Structure 1
Amino acid sequence: MSPVSLLLNVLWILLGGAEMAFAWLIAAVIMAVTIIGLPWARAAFNIAVYTFLPFGSQAVRRDAMTGQGDTGTGPLGVIGNIIWLVLAGWWLALGHLIAAVLLAVTIIGIPFAWAHLKLAGLALWPIGKQIVPI
């Protein structure tokens, strides 16, 4: 991790990133408790880690990265993402949007607001994505 990414991640945690990562962790635990929610729990846990330290990493589609489709990037992944959107995605995205608006008020908060907007999009459609270093 570069020094700039490290500094941005520390500021991110101090300015509210830890709270949203905790929300993702809660979503992962709730999904894991229900046996049916295990596929979503794994995705939510991976994104919780990404939400805690977003700078220096990015979310990419697995099929674009590997060159081949899998269950999460095919029709079952679409169905899984729709179920996720209804159960948990909308409120996680809403949390990221609220945080983005609050941070965008200041000039210093604009990079963090942009990160929240990227995470809001990921919150709506997380299945089939993989977190990779930039």
Structure 2
Amino acid sequence: MDTLRTLLNLVWLVLHGWMLALAYALAGLVACLLVVTIPFGIAAFRLAGFVVWPFGRTTVRAPGAGVASALGNLLWFLVAGWWLALVHVVAGIAFCLTVIGIPFGVASFKLAAVGLFPLGKRVVETAPPRDWMHAGSTVAYATVR
């Protein structure tokens, strides 16, 4: 399954990932011009790394993210988040026009939500899918609690 993720990430990088990474890096550079907005720049650089290699990773809420993150996300949305999300949505629609592009379209839509409100989130690796064929029983899926 890691081979499939790597293949998806390479195709993503060639088709769209490099352009999105540049957009996030540009937003990060602009945000780092002022000392007050450096946290926005750091978030933009973190997302630039995420959009380069999105398959096999996801974002989770960071512990301790509170009111400051919420207020920062509102400001981010007004200044940069909406246009970054718009790029993701337009790309997602274009990807979904073909059957092969649907996984990339879905990934782009997920990244749009992350691009809208990036503060207070961390990028983490996702758990690899279970190999249910070698689970030792005839039951294909187990109940997850």
* Distance (whole Å) between structure 2 residues aligned to residue 12 and residue 21 of structure 1: 11
> In the TM superposition, what is the alpha-carbon distance from 1:16 to its structure 2 partner?
1.3
**Is 1:15 equivalent to 2:15 in the alignment?**
yes
| Aligned residue number for residue 29 of structure 1 | 29
1:81-100 maps to which residues of 2 (within 5 A)?
81-100=73-92
Question: Given residue 108 of structure 1, which amino acid in structure 2 is its aligned partner?
Answer: I
Residue 56 of structure 2 aligns with which residue?
56
| Residue 114 of structure 2: aligned partner | 122
Deviations 1:48-88 (A, max 9, x none): 0000000111111112xxxxx2xxx1111110000000010
AA aligned to 1:130 is: R
Q: Find the aligned partners of 2:72 and 2:40 in 1 and give their Cα distance.
A: 8
Deviates more, 1:123-132 or 1:33-42: 33-42
Residue matched to 1:66: none
Give the TM-score normalised by structure 2.
0.84
Give the share of equivalent positions with the same residue, in percent.
Answer: 39
Please list every run of 5 or more consecutive structure 2 residues that lacks an aligned counterpart in the other structure.
127-145
- What residue number does 1:42 align with? 42
Normalized per residue, which structure has more helix? 1
Q: Deviations over 1:19-48 (max 9, x none)?
A: 011101111111012222101011110010
Q: Classify the secondary structure of the residue corresponding to 2:81.
A: helix
**What count of residue pairs does the alignment treat as equivalent?**
126
**Deviation, structure 1 residue 91:** 0.3
